[in-house]
Amino acid sequence: MKILLKSVFITDPTSSHYQTNKDVLIIEGVYRSIEEEINNYDSDVEVIECKDMCLSQGWVDLKSDFCDPGSEYKETIETGLEAASNGGYTHVCILPSTEPNIDGKTQVEYILNKSKNSITSAHPIGSITKKGQGKELAEMYDMHSSGVQLFSDDNIHVSTGMLSRSLLYAKTIEATVAVFSSDPSLSNGSLVNEGIASLRTGMKSEPSISEEIEVERNLSVLAYTEGKLHLTGVSTQKSVNLIKAAKSSGLNVTASVNIMNLLFNDEAVLNFDTNFKVKPPLRSAADQKALLKGFLEGTIDTIDSDHRPKDIDEKDIEFSNAAFGGIQIQTVFPSFNTSFSDYIQNLINAISINSRKIAGIPLATIEEGETVDATLYDTNQEFELNQKSIKSKMKNSPFLEKSFKGKVKAVINNNKHIIFE
C-alpha cells in the first residue's frame, strides 16, 4: 500500500501537525513522510487530492450489535464491519447480546477470527455475567486473556452485588465495566419518556428517575470498589450533573450518550414512527440540551452509535409491539455534522481519542514512523442515505432518503485502505 494524501488538513489533537495542511505519504501502513509539500515519490504511489478533506485518527464505536452469532439474517460480522468502515470507523466494540452470548473465550475468538481480515477491527465486549443472566460472573479472566478490555451486560440490569464483584475483579486485570442505567422496577414495559410523549400518546412511560437512581447507585458502588466504570446511554440532565460531580470528586468514571438521544427529543415519537423507539427513550428538550452541553464540557466523554439492526417485521408494526433500536453506525458523523457543525471537532476528538482510551485501544497519532489507523472525511460534501448506500443488512434508519452534510472519504487501517466516492 502506497498512498500520498495531498494537502490534507490534520485534525488529530495529539499530532504536532494539528490544524495544518500537509502532504502525507503512507508506505505499507506507516506514515513515511509528513511535509508541507511532497513532490518526489515512486510512480506506483496512489495520489489522492485532499482539497477540503480532513485526516484524524481512526474512529472508534463503543456500542454496536452485529447479531452474529445467532441472528445473522439481520447482520453478520462482515456486513456490520462494512457498514462501520463506511461510517468512518476503524474499530468497533461489539455488544455481547448474541446467541450464544459472548461470555467466554470461545465466543471471543469466534468474533476475532471472523474479523481478522477486515480493514475495521472488531473488539468483542465480554458479558459481565454468564449468558447475561445476572446470576454469576462470566469468565472475565479468560476473555481478557483473549483481548477483551470492556465488560457489559448491554441493556440488562446488573445487581448491586454483581456490579461490585465485577468492578473489583476488573480492577485486577485493568479492565473496564460498562453499565446501562435503568431501574427495571420503574422501566419494565415502558415505551416512551414520561412527559409530553406519554401524555399525548397514552403509552406506558419511563420516568427519568429510573435512570438517575441507577446512576447514583452505580457511582456509589464505583466509589466503594475504586474500580473503572463506564456509564453508557446517558440520557437525562440530572444524570449529567451526577457524573460531573463524580468526576470532580476523583472517581474513575467515563460516560457516553447514544447519537439518537443527542439529535432528537421525545416529540419525535408523537407520530408513532418506530424508528424513534430506542433505549433509553428520547427524553425532553431540556434533557437533550443538557446532553449536548455535557458533551461539549467533557462530562460526557463520547458518542455511541448504538447500532441495532432490526428486520421489517420488528419495526413495520404498531409502536407498542415494535423492537427498540435502529442502524446508526453509518450516520453518526454526517448526522452530527449536519445538526452541530460548529462542534464537529468535539465529535472527532471524542470518537478518535476518548473512545480509544475507554476501549483500551492504543492511540494512533499522526506522526512520521507511526502505524496508520486513520479516517479521511469531508465536512462539506453532501450525500443522501438510501437503500443502495446502506451497507447494513437491515434498513431501519430514521434517515432513509434524507440528505446530510458531511461524508467519510476513506479509512486506512491494518495496512489496508478503502476510498469512498
Catalytic positions are 306
| The three cell numbers locating residue 56 | 484524524
150, 261, 289, 400 from 389: Cα distances, Å? 31, 24, 31, 10
| The three cell numbers locating residue 210 | 429510573
State the SS3 of the chain: CEEEEEEEEECCCCCCCCCCEEEEEEECCEEEEEECCCCCCCCCCEEEECCCEEEEECEEEEEECCCCCCCCCCCCHHHHHHHHHHCCEEEEEECCCCCCCCCCHHHHHHHHHHHCCCCCEEEECECCEHHHCCCCECCHHHHHHCCCCEEECCCCCCCHHHHHHHHHHHHHCCCEEEEECCCHHHHCCCCEECCHHHHHHCCCEECHHHHHHHHHHHHHHHHHHCCCEEEECCCCHHHHHHHHHHHHCCCCEEEEEEHHHHHCCHHHHCCCCHHHCCCCCCCCHHHHHHHHHHHHHCCCCEEECCECCCCHHHHCCCHHHCCCCECCCCCHHHHHHHHCHHHHHHHHHHHHHHHHHHHCCCCCCCCCCCECCEEEEEEEEEEECCCCCCCCCCCCCCCCCCEEEEEEEEEEECCEEEECC
Pairwise CA distance, residues 386 & 404, whole Å? 11
